[in-house]
Structure 1
């Protein structure tokens, strides 16, 4: 393998290592000629083979001719010291394997949305006569723009099996096709089989063929049909199961004849050619529009993110861990939320110096953090669209409406101020979704309104077949919004609004009032605004206790909040029509003199205690366990760990806990902050808290962070009666233990059976919590791949401080 100490490969200057496999290493490098960053993959075989290198170089030259938005291009290919190296475009982001480890299994719609562009890329290569031969999650990169891209076309590494005949194969055993293993046959249908395996993994969250022995894996692929096991807890409808199993047929003649055939079958699954007619015309229209929306690559991400958090919002406040877990799946979302809660505005209400989502929930409240998360997610999905400008206008309007409703509710000393925030934000969801997914139709609707051909509602019905209101309500129900929010989206009848007598009515009235005020700002000429404002106040008079002056002051405060928020998330209000309309309103109201102070606050708020760089160990950053032969390389995804940031996160977490311990705290809140800090800092797959049950003298899992953490925590249920295993050694002696490889012969005999069957991670660390030498709790953290957990002395010292803070919290609470 090329020596990293040389700092160069060819003319390329090595910056750092990105990932490593058994036969390859990927580096981030700099091209001094073209002044750009590139990714370099070096290949090293145990038995040098110049002829094989020349064959791979020839194939790489062919692949370099491919031009497709979903293919990572090869810039160059050459040899150095007998090793082949390939120079790729550097794509920041993470590979699909890492994405699945962070998110768990995907819904069919989301899985197909990711696979769709991958199949397009494979079909493009097939048209050029190139077979991939090693399609797998680690070779599918998800860029920071969310675009899936395929790498390593036609240049799969050689695999030497442990069989006695010295056979060599090209590719990764768990993703090989049966005919290749049996007869060395490669065709378009071998890539169909691999694509089926990738789809299987996305739908189930686990690899279809698993094992430690290469030969055993290949024997299983060649001789056993692949089916989703009943124990996987995955239910596929008949149509999707039929598509999956056709792609995975052992006989290539029984598979899809081409990648395009597989793609068409998946398209047919999403949008049946002959949908069943519904007696409900409105619902039929919503179903039709939903099918159109599902073809957009970003729809699954938006719908799942909003749907998940709204399900949590509708449940008991006990779901703080669920909310934190949902946010922490996306490290970009996590950092943006932490930037906001540390901004100048939230510092006024108790924020500032917050480094964990758990602490943010504790300080600002469950609903406030939930609402910040949804606001940021909504804005994130408006980026990089052809109609991004108009989308941002709609977003700003929705954002101001939500803040206005909350501030008016606070002025009225009402309860549920955070609920009214979310109700008002999504009051006009239908219009926002139309602009997002149907921009051409939205333009036509706007044209009809401007030419005064009809009302907005009539124009929407004529163009889309449904009103904006009904579209928004229909999608909100699909996303799992609570009934309170859905009902608040209904428009009020014309005329004066009667006084609300229930919480649901109040949410609906305040949402309508706030959105009508935004309509004044956006749609009414400046000289008519005062007259129209008084009309709106008169209409809602029985429900709004503020006089005109108090309402104007509240609107001014709300607009300041929007300005601050826009500065933090990067919206230039000078380039926004709605931003300019807000400015003219404020100028007319005599509020412009505070502009310089506002700029200072916005600039201060835009700073953050966290780096813009993805922190080491942030969710999604650890290397994911791959094949023993092609072990979890990060490829050109660029999510390399950075030890310095790990220490920063640990120290910030320690400060978070110190601040919490001097307050009236709940023990679970402190322990949650500690676990989240470890999870984010070191990129563990899971972190679980176990607590001693004195009645049964046993250790029981309570809660944690990471994929399926609540379910995994339940599997930690073991007696504290002496047993010669690793867990009892750590707890009885009060020592921290790191197991680098659970399969190591010296260690495996001391791994208890309950762990091997229920958890079975490749590496883990234990931090016992003891009082007077007696174990009262335990923090467990793991990763999939043996050797993946590496803790420096400084990090260990900081993590022990966290553990000691947990012990102190337990002492104080008891």
Structure 2
């Protein structure tokens, strides 16, 4: 080793990596110690060195107490070297190796300093791209200092082509999959560092680089079971938001994550504010963060809203989002098979894909959000009052949908449902998060004969309307819906001039009708109904009699809906009001469980219910599909899917809809990790992955691309001979040689099954399904027969489309 690098005198080696060595050196000019990092690449690349030198000069402009500054950058014998301030102490990896997991308060303090450094760099347009414990120094005063911005790049979604830069265990999913880096990528890496501070362990352990990267890209990172109970749910949620695989669900900046940590440590007090309404909203949000269900609800609602509001709406994307929640999937299917939705022309529906096709994206959004909201109101101390508020909100939505359906003006009836359901969101939130304050407001209504809004202002310091609007905005609801949450002024309502005004009219009308039902004595209801009909006579083309019949129809539908979600109307005052109005009894085709019963249906009931068209919750969770209860459940789902396809094939179907329903049925029935459809491309004589189901299916599908020129591997044999093949263990010596290299590189699955789709002996398509661990796929003879029936129906659809 040379005793000099440039003018610097080498003292000793401090550490080394795959492409670098760090030395302690002396600067003879300034008489000080420095740290020098040399970079040596396998191939000498002058252009790369010039780029890195430019980046180093850019980073050298950063000045922050939590950043190790670069003093100088130059080349020597084709290798680049960077000169840093020498910081005595340990790097964070060494520090954690000695200390182990840190207490949350200490971990947060270190993390705040790291985020301050990253935020400072981001403000200068610099992305770190290799944030990890070994690049964070803890000096002798225990001050964290971030270093090694030497491979950083200007912000702007930089693409890196095919070459990876950084450390695999600390890369963001979007960088692994798409080679894009931005501020949110650094936030993900910061989340991994925070995980390590809290647990003392790397979030994604292992030495197999490809497996580590695949796990980051495909699986949500969660705290170990043995340590998750040590942290508040609020802190765990904060960590999980930083580690969200979807960049849009992450903190949008290091500064925002820093603020979240500050908020976590801040005392839970309501600070004085010039605007008391905003103070109450802030206080409500802080209280929500203590409850695990609010983050789950808000993120789920936000995700569904984001997809359905997109200009490039994708049935596959919506279906995949819903299918991630097994309970939501089955509850949604049970609802779409209720009498009301069957009248929409759907018949028996057993897949989310077909529900979207038959009912439309907005209708599925309405149902999914309704289910999510209901699920988060169960089993609370004030469950009875919450169910009453939910029932009232749902009736408002149904009323608006029915009124809009009779309107002479074209209007999106599902938007009317959502707007009306959330018109009084503030009351629902108040009952959930402020039960004592809500009880006080009700006492004021009775004793002081004041309005609900006056009571809310006195007790909460904010109207329920403003409260609901504030939260709806945090949930990402479109402006159209948020604006409809504002009540109309007193007096007669004029005819609305645009869709936004019409939605507001329908939301107000339906909720005023609900108020009559909830708050007016039976003998006064007809009189109040006449007042409402007069007030809205110009705005809505329904006379009093039509309004009355619409109300009766809506009450009947809500009664049916209550049975579907197992809500006993007799247990709530509002429910008893509905029954007193004379709503029709529960339809016999629905199944109502008694209080205290299992949330799923018994196995014998499940089979009967599915033949009647109501898909019920299985008694097993998604990750228990391999257990002994699987055959009955999977056969029932397969049979329902076959019936679904039969209904589609006799109609004017689209081939994509048939194929999507086929794949989703297979995916749900057997609990596969992923199911992918491949189609033959005649021009290149190749089999190409098109779409699929599963967390990473869209990305994995892109890897399925192989020539149909015969080679003796499993995929070619299945297609050439038209045989279904189940591989129980890809590592079995008897079969491993037949697994193609492209597959092993792209997919970390040890067991899979192939169903070829052949016409006249030629493979035109292929259905691939897998599980992670060897031996996890077990298919009974009856299941195989049903799977083949599904495949044959897909082949029939292809033939009819040619």
**Which residue does the alignment assign to 1:772?**
760
Question: 3-state SS of the aligned residue for 2:752?
Answer: strand
The within-5 A match list for 1:240-639 is 243-249=194-200, 263=232, 269=261, 271-273=264-266, 282-283=277-278, 285-316=280-311, 318-413=313-408, 414-452=410-448, 454-584=450-580, 586=581, 592=582, 595=584, 598-601=585-588, 608-609=609-610, 614=618, 619-622=622-625
Match of residue 662 from structure 1: 650
Query: Mean Cα displacement is larger for which, 282-291 or 703-712?
Result: 282-291
Shift of 1:382: 1.4
- Aligned equivalents of 1:494, 1:809: Cα separation in 2: 57
Paired residue secondary structure (2:344): coil
How far did residue 389 of structure 1 move?
0.3
Helix, strand or coil at the partner of 2:379: coil
Tell me the distance in 2 between the aligned counterparts of 1:238 and 1:804.
47
Compared CA separation, residues 615 and 578, structure 1 to 2 (3 A): closer
CA distance in 2, matches of 1:711, 1:288: 41
Give, in angstroms, the shift of residue 457 of structure 1.
Answer: 2.6
> Counterpart in 2 of 1:681?
669
CA contact (8 A) 1:675 1:705 kept: yes
Q: Distance in 2 between matches of 1:429 and 1:782?
A: 43
Contact 1:670/1:806, CA 8 A, preserved across alignment:
yes
Q: Distance in 1 between matches of 2:762 and 2:619?
A: 35
SS of structure 2 residue aligned to 1:350: helix
> Retained in 1: the 8 A contact 2:396–2:514?
yes
Which residue does the alignment assign to 1:791? 779
Are positions 1:228 and 2:224 aligned together?
A: no
Q: Does 1:807 align with 2:798?
A: no
1:721 counterpart SS class: coil
CA distance in 2, matches of 1:533, 1:449: 22
1:488 CA drift (Å): 1.4
Taking a change above 3 Å as real, the CA distance of residues 283 and 554 of structure 1, as seen in their structure-2 partners, is: same
Superposed displacement of residue 800, structure 1: 1.3
Deviations along 1:345-380, whole A, 9 cap, x unmatched? 333333443222223333333333332222222222
Question: 1:394, 1:432 within 8 Å by CA — same for their partners in 2?
Answer: yes
Post-superposition CA distance 1:668-703 (Å, at most 9, x none): 111111111111111101111111222222222222
- Conserved in 2, the CA contact under 8 Å of 1:354 and 1:360? yes
Contact 2:350–2:615 under 8 Å retained in 1: no
Distance 1:717 1:570, change over 3 A: same
Of 713-722 and 485-494, the range deviating more from structure 2: 713-722
| Contact persistence 2:353–2:657 (CA under 8 A) | yes
Cα 1:700/1:227, change in 2 over 3 Å: closer
The answer as to whether partners of 2:679 and 2:688 remain within 8 angstroms in 1 is: yes
Higher relative contact order (CA 8 A, sep 6+): 1
Partners of 1:241 and 1:285 in 2: how far apart?
34
Q: More deviation in 486-495 or 677-686?
A: 486-495
CA RMSD of aligned residues (A): 3.7
Conserved 8 A contact 2:495-2:540? no
DSSP-derived class of the 2:690 partner: strand
Say if 2:719 and 2:763, in contact at 8 Å, map to a contact too.
yes
Deviates more, 1:791-800 or 1:447-456: 447-456
Q: Secondary structure at the match of 1:490?
A: coil
- Please tell me whether the aligned partners of residues 752 and 769 of structure 2 are also in contact (alpha carbons under 8 angstroms): yes
Range that drifts further, 697-706 or 459-468: 459-468
Q: CA deviation at 1:396?
A: 0.9
Match of 1:722, SS state, is: coil
Q: Larger radius of gyration, structure 1 or 2?
A: 2
Structure-2 residue corresponding to 1:140: none
Q: C-alpha offsets along residues 286-309 of structure 1, whole Å, 9 cap, x if unaligned?
A: 333212102112212222222222
Q: What displacement does 1:570 show?
A: 1.4
Equivalenced residues, count: 577
Distance verdict in 2 for CA 1:611–1:673, change over 3 Å = closer
CA drift of 1:237 comes to 6.7
Aligned-partner Cα distance in 2 for 1:226–1:692 = 34
- TM-fit CA distance, 1:577: 0.5
Residue 271 and residue 535 in structure 1: after superposition, are their counterparts in 2 closer, same or farther (change >3 A)? farther
Q: Specify every segment of 5 or more residues in structure 2 that has no aligned partner in the other structure, as ranges.
A: 1-92, 109-131, 133-166, 176-184, 203-226, 239-259, 594-607
Distance in 2 (CA, whole Å) between partners of 1:749 and 1:271 is 54
Check the 8 A contact 1:686/1:705 in 2, yes or no.
yes
TM-score scaled by structure 1? Answer: 0.65
Q: How far off its partner does 1:500 sit?
A: 1.0
2 CA distance for matches of 1:761 and 1:190?
A: 36
Shift of 1:542: 1.7
Q: Tell me the alpha carbon deviations over residues 689-735 of structure 1, each in whole angstroms, 9 at most, x when there is no partner.
A: 11122222222222211112222222223333334432222223322
Q: Determine helix, strand or coil for the equivalent of 2:448.
A: coil
> Alpha carbons of 1:260 and 1:368: their partners in 2 closer, same or farther (altered >3 Å)?
closer
TM-score, normalised by the number of residues in structure 2: 0.65
CA distance in 1 between counterparts of 2:699 and 2:272 reads: 40
For 1:328 and 1:491, locate their aligned partners in 2 and report how far apart those are by CA, in whole Å: 36
Change (3 A) 1:491 1:792: same
- SS for the counterpart of 1:690 is strand
Q: CA deviation at 1:581?
A: 1.9
Q: Distance in 2 between matches of 1:509 and 1:652?
A: 40
The aligned runs of 1:160-199 (5 Å cut-off) are: none
Question: What is the CA distance between 1:549 and its match in structure 2?
Answer: 0.9
CA shift for structure 1 position 778:
1.2
Q: Report the CA distance between 1:664 and its aligned residue.
A: 0.4
Q: CA 1:345–1:708 in 2, change beyond 3 Å: closer, same or farther?
A: same
Measure the CA separation in 2 of the matches of 1:278 and 1:759.
55
Instruction: State the alpha-carbon separation in 1 of the partners of residues 359 and 332 from structure 2.
Output: 12
Mapped partners of 1:729, 1:279: distance in 2: 74
